[in-house]
Amino acid sequence: MKNRFDLIIFDWDGTLIDSIDWIVHCLQTAAVQCDCAIPEPQAARDVIGLSIRNACAKLFPGVDDATLTRLTTCYQQTYLSRQLGREDLFPGVYDMLVELKQAGYQLAVATGKTRAGLQEALQATDTEELFCITRCSDETASKPDPLMLHEIIQHANAANERSLMVGDSVHDLQMAMNAQISSIAVSCGAHPEGILQRYSPLMCLQQPAELLNIIRG
Q: Which amino acid is at 36?
A: C
**pTM for the full model?**
0.94
Closest CA to 160 of 179, 146, 135: 179
CATH code matching the domain that covers 7-19+88-216, chosen among 3.10.310.40, 3.40.50.1000, 3.40.50.720, 3.40.50.880: 3.40.50.1000
Query: CB neighbours (10 Å) of residue 132?
Result: 17
pLDDT in tens, 87-129: 999 999 999 999 999 999 999 999 999 999 899 999 999 999 9
Residues in the chain: 217
Confidence band for 216, pLDDT divided at 50, 70 and 90: confident
Please say if the pLDDT value at position 182 is more than 80.
yes
**Mean pLDDT (the chain, rounded):** 95
* The pLDDT value given to residue 140: 95
Surface-to-core class of residue 32, CB atoms within 10 Å of its CB (0-12 exposed, 13-18 middle, 19+ buried): exposed
Which runs of consecutive H residues, i.e. helices, occur in 47-192?
52-59, 65-79, 93-102, 115-125, 147-156, 170-179
Q: Which amino acid is at 94?
A: Y
Please say if the pLDDT value at position 80 is more than 90.
no
* The pLDDT value given to residue 192: 94
